[in-house]
Chains A and B, each alone.
Chain A
Amino acid sequence: MAVKVLIPTPLRAYTGNQDSVDLDGNTVGEILDNLTNTYSDLKRHLYNENGELRNFVNVYLGDEDIRHLEQGKSTPVTGDETISIVPSIAGGC
C-alpha cells in the first residue's frame, strides 16, 4: 500500500529536497519506519533517544494527529490517505 507522505520545508534537506514521497506500508508506523529507513538522516529529527516522536514534530494521518488516534501508529492505512509531518515554526518578523 503506497501512501503519500508530505515533507515540510525544514526537513526537505533530508529527503533530497522532495516535498512528498510515496512509501509502502500497512500501518502509519510501517510507513514512518520505511521513511526513516529510506532517509536515515530524518530519524534523529523525528524521534528522540527513546524512539518517541519529538515534541516539536507532529504527524497527521489525514487531518488527525496520530497521537490522538485510538490505535496510534498501528492505525491501518488504505492508500487513499496522506500523512503530513508538521514541525513547529516560529518566524514572524
Chain B
Amino acid sequence: MLNDTSNIELSRDEMERFSRHLILPEVGLEGQKKLKAASVLCIGSGGLGSPLLLYLAAAGIGRLGLVDFDVVDSSNLQRQIIHGTSWVGKPKIQSAKDRILEINPYCQVDLYETRLEASNALDIFADYDIVVDGTDNFPTRYLVNDACVLTGKPNVYGSIFRFEGQATVFNYEGGPNYRDLYPEPPPPGLVPSCAEGGVLGILPGLIGVIQATETVKIILGEGTTLSGRLLLYDSLNMKFRELKLRKNPATPPITELIDYEQFCGIPQAAAAEAEGSDEIPELDVSDLKERMDGGKDFVLIDVRNPHEYDICNIEGAELIPLSDIENGDGVDRVRELTNGSELIVHCKSGMRSMKALKALQTAGIKGKNLKGGILAWGDAYDPTIPRY
C-alpha cells in the first residue's frame, strides 16, 4: 500500500502495545506506521467479520469501517465471537465497535448501519484502502467484487459452507477478480445458507483469520498474497489445498454496478416459488390444535431433516423428509399413512412443507400446509420448542 506514513507518529503507549510487531523486522516501526495509516472496510460483522475485526483491531489498523444492518441473535454466538451475550438484540456494528475499542482504543471505527447496495457501495468504498468481504450471500458478494473493481480496491475474500472454506485476494495488482473465478452465481436455493445448512462454529474463525493475515500483508507489502491462488480448507479432514486462479479473457469487463438481486435470480426464484402456492390450502396452528383436542382424524407429516426432528417435534407427527418426497421414495409412505384421512404437512416455518405439498399434488395427493411450521406451533402452544 502506498499510504504516506511521514505524518504518522506512535505514542509511547502505542510503542509498548505493538512492541512484538516493532521488534519483528518485517513489520518494525515503519510497518506499524503503515498499519496505523491504513483504513480497512469490513462488509459484515458476523462469522468471518468477527475474528478478522478482532485481529485487525489488535494489529493496530488505524481506521476500520463496518457495514452491517443486522442485530445480534443468540444463535450467532456459536461463531460470531466479537459479540457477547449482553449484546443480543442490539446492532452488531455497535457491539463490534465496543469490542474493537476495548482491544485497541487507538483504532478509529466508522459505522455504516445499512445494507450494502449498488446505490451506496462506491461512495463507501472510496474512503478505504482495502475491502474485506465477510458477507453471506451471492448478490452482495458480486456487488462487493464489482465495486472493488470500479474503485480499484483489493478485495480480501473468504467464504464458508458447513465444514469447508475458500479464501483468496481479488483485484490486487492487476490480478483476477471474483468473476474470473465464478462468472455467475448458482441459482437460489442450490447452495443452502448457514441458517439453512448449518456451519461449524470454528470454521469462519480460521477463514476470517486468513483474511486478516492477507489484509495485514497487503498493508505491509510483505510476503506473497493469495492473489491468483484459491485456498481451499476442509476442516473435517484438516486439509488445505491450493488452486490456480487466472484472469478469464471471456469475462466481460465490469463497467457499472447492476441489479444484483436480479443477476442472482432472486426475484425470478421467488416468483417461481409463489407459482401454484395459492392452490395449496393453509391451516393455522390454532386449527391444528382444534383437530388434536377434538380427536379428529388426520395425519400430520413433518418434512424436515431427521436431525431437526431430534431437536424438536410435534407429538404424533410422522417424519418423511422433503428430499424423500421429492425423489419419490416418500410419496407411497404418505399415501399409505393418509389413506383417506386429512393430510397436514409441516416443516420449520412453512416453505419446505409447501414444496412437499406441491410435489405430492403432482402425485395426486392433496393436503394442507401448516402455516408458520413448528416454530409457529411452538410460539403458540409449546414453550419447550426452541427457535433453532
Residues of chain A at the chain B interface (Cβ within 8 Å): 8-10, 13, 19, 45, 54-58, 60, 63-65, 67-68, 84, 86-93
Q: How many residues of B sit at the interface, in one of the four size bands?
A: 35 or more
- Report A-chain residues with C-beta under 8 Å of the C-beta of B136: 90-93
Closest residue of chain A to B239 (Cβ to Cβ) is A6
Residue of A57, A64, A84 near B241 (CB, 8 A) is: A84
- Please tell me which stretch of B189-197, B307-315, B341-349 contacts chain A, meaning at least 4 of its Cβ atoms lie within 8 angstroms of it: B189-197
- Report A-chain residues with C-beta under 8 Å of the C-beta of B262: none
CA distance A13 to B324 in the complex (A): 12
A-B contact pairs, 24 of them (CB 8 A): A8-B164, A10-B190, A63-B242, A63-B243, A64-B243, A65-B246, A84-B243, A88-B138, A88-B185, A88-B186, A89-B164, A90-B136, A90-B138, A90-B191, A91-B47, A91-B161, A92-B44, A92-B48, A92-B136, A92-B158, A92-B160, A93-B44, A93-B76, A93-B80
- Given A56-B182, A68-B246, A88-B182: A93 touches B46 (CB 8 Å cut-off): yes
Residue of B191, B204, B243 near A89 (CB, 8 A) is: B191
- Given A60-B243, A92-B160: A10 touches B232 (CB 8 Å cut-off): no
CA distance A88 to B185 in the complex (A): 7
Contact present for B133 and A92 (CB under 8 Å): yes
CA distance A57 to B245 in the complex (A): 14
Residue of B135, B192, B243 near A92 (CB, 8 A) is: B135
- Given A56-B185, A92-B134, A93-B46: A86 touches B191 (CB 8 Å cut-off): no
Residue B127 at the chain A interface, CB threshold 8 Å: no
Contact present for A93 and B194 (CB under 8 Å): yes
Given contact pairs A63-B243, A89-B191, A92-B133, a sample of 9 additional A-B residue pairs in the complex whose CB atoms are under 8 Å apart: A58-B182, A68-B246, A86-B230, A87-B191, A89-B160, A89-B164, A91-B199, A92-B134, A92-B135
